[in-house]
Amino acid sequence: MADIVGSCQRFLEDAARIAARVRGSNELPKTTVRSLIWAPSGPGGYSGKELTRDEMDFYGIWDDIRTSVVSCQSWTDAKNALDAFIKARDAKPTGLWDQSVERQYLLPLLRLYFEDMSSFVYDRRRARKAVSTMVRELNSPEVEVLGIIALEGFEAHSQFHLQPGLLLRPIKQDELLELGGKEGGVPVGTGAHDQHLWPSEDWWICEVRVRCPRGNALGWNRVHEINDKLALALRVFKSGGVALGLVTIGASTPFGGGPEGRGGQLKKIAVGKTRYVLSEEESRKFRWFWRRFLNVMERPQHYLQVPIRRHGVAGTRSEKEDALVDYVIGLEALLGKDDERTELSYRFRVRGAVVLAGNGRRDRKKYLRDLRELYNLRSRIVHGQPLRPEDLDTYLPIAEEALRRVWNWYFRRWYEEDSNEAGIESIDADLVS
């Protein structure tokens, strides 16, 4: 450990000396005037990142001194010592160590050392503190993974936590600039060099913080899972056309935290829908809903999983016929039993009408007609018969809302059950009575 600290302190000493020589002065820039590197892309959009003069000067100096620092003796000592430190503790960051030791370790160390300094001079006490901070973080068995999920077309009364480490909030000004990036927007997909996702002032952010054992990808996988489950939860909670996607993910520590990612694509959870707005009361209800929803979706098997996945897929379909089939299949999974082989259409519409009408029995006839037509349309699509566009336009919203309401009926009442049989028995008992 003493070798590591000594090598890193010599690295900082050489870096300060070389930086001052390259600059021609020990003084650090004092101005904080901002310079816009890339112009705004349009109303509410940003295509670049504003850098302070301090930041631009730092990056420029680092580019100038990097070669000299890498070739000096203290850099070699530091690299070898850090390499031994990482290997001895089996904490090698996946995919990053061999690529850029200086970017993941020495550059963050240099930035930490120069933070709030007024001149490029070597300060032994400051160097020890910076190196101790780095070693403490490297020695930690866990890192915090931070994922940023962007929501477009979403609005809530105010920011709120869904659970510890999961915050829904408006986008911040510095995130608008950061997500603009030097390349002009967040890249979309692998190899899509000319496609970018432009951040907007009306975006909301789901900030996900997950603790992860150092050296594996469990935290990264967890953030991706939350992104997928959040889309399904919003979809089944109420109607609305929010688009969302994971745009950045990485460790919150600057020192060898693990792989970083930027990019992705915002996907609509319901094609052609209006904005997704949560009132203050709905935000409170959604917090309760989210906890129970996660419990259902993270079980090895649960009878509510298949219907909600059908509901989610249907909202992203480009063809209306495919979406309608998804909705009806989801309803069939909730309104029928595995051992039933006859009168499927009858059971489908009668049981569905009971759930949808609730206590208003006079409405059952209306729902009987709607569900009968939905089943007929589904059968015609499956057998390759063409449908009139006006029929799809009329019955697709009915199918979507029917599946949402029936699913939530089971979710509220038969949440702990292993199958839908208790719900079916309750419906059939209501019919008999």
The closest of 108, 7, 97 to 58, measured between CA atoms, is 108
Is the sign of the CA dihedral 74, 80, 85, 90 positive or negative?
Answer: positive
From CA 192, how far away is CA 395, in angstroms rounded? Answer: 38
Classify 153 in phi/psi space as left (phi over 0), alpha (psi -120 to 50) or beta.
left
Dihedral angle over CA of 325, 265, 234, 422, nearest 10: 50
Q: What is the pLDDT of residue 2?
A: 61
Q: How far apart are CA 128 and CA 4, in angstroms?
A: 11
> In a 10 Å sphere around its CB, with 0-12 CB exposed, 13-18 middle and 19+ buried, how is residue 300 labelled?
exposed
Rounded distance, CA 386 to CA 296, Å? 37
Count CB neighbours of 145 within 10 A. 25
Q: What phi and psi values does residue 366 have, to the nearest 5 degrees?
A: -60, -45
pLDDT at 192: 40
**Model confidence at 230, in pLDDT bands (50, 70, 90)?**
very high
The pTM is what?
0.79
pLDDT exceeds 70 at position 425: yes
Q: Which residues pair with 43 in a beta bridge?
A: none
CA angle at 239 for the pair 238 and 244, rounded to the nearest 5°: 95
Task: Quickly count: other Cβ atoms within 10 Å of residue 394's Cβ.
Answer: 13
Distance from CA of residue 222 to its chain's centroid? 10
The residue that leads in pLDDT, 431 or 232, is: 232
Backbone dihedral angles phi then psi of residue 99, each to the nearest 5 degrees: -80, -45
Most confident of 50-64, 254-268, 382-396: 382-396
CB 179 within 8 A of CB 246: no
Q: 403, exposed or middle or buried, with CB in 10 Å at 0-12, 13-18, 19+?
A: buried
C-beta separation of 12 from 4 below 8 A: no
CA dist., res. 147 & res. 166, Å (int): 10
Q: Average the pLDDT over each of 36-45, 136-145, 261-270 and give the range with the smallest value.
A: 36-45
Give 283: exposed, middle or buried? Use CB within 10 Å, 0-12, 13-18, 19+: middle
Please, what sign has the CA dihedral across residues 405, 411, 414, 419?
A: positive
pLDDT of residue 203: 93
CA distance 209 to 390: 46
Helix (H, G, I), strand (E, B) or coil at 77: helix
Candidates 354, 341, 328; CA nearest to 413 is 354
Buried b (16+ CB within 10 A) or exposed e, 319-333: ebbebbbbbbbbbbb
Higher pLDDT pick, 358 / 67: 358
Q: Would you state the pLDDT for residue 43?
A: 40
Angle between helices 305-314 and 389-413 (to 10 degrees): 150
Packing angle between helix 53-71 and helix 2-23, nearest 10 degrees? 120
Amino acid, res. 394: T
Residue reference for tokens 């979403």: 154
The pLDDT value given to residue 21: 72
Closest CA to 242 of 213, 270, 223: 270
CA distance 81 to 94: 19
Predicted confidence (pLDDT) per residue in 20-32, tens digit: 776 677 777 654 3
Residue type, 346: Y
Q: Model confidence over 167-180: pLDDT tens digits?
A: 999 999 878 877 76
Residue 46 has pLDDT above 70, yes or no: no
Highest mean pLDDT among 56-65, 100-109, 176-185, 366-375: 366-375
H helix and E strand count, the chain: 15, 13
* Residue 191 pLDDT class (50, 70, 90 cuts): very low
Cα distance between residue 232 and residue 297, in whole Å: 10
What pLDDT does 162 receive? 95
Listing DSSP states for 305-338 in one string gives: HHHHHHHHHHTT-SSHHHHHHHHHHHHHHHHS-T
Q: Which two tokens mark 37?
A: 């590197």
CB 348 within 8 A of CB 378: no
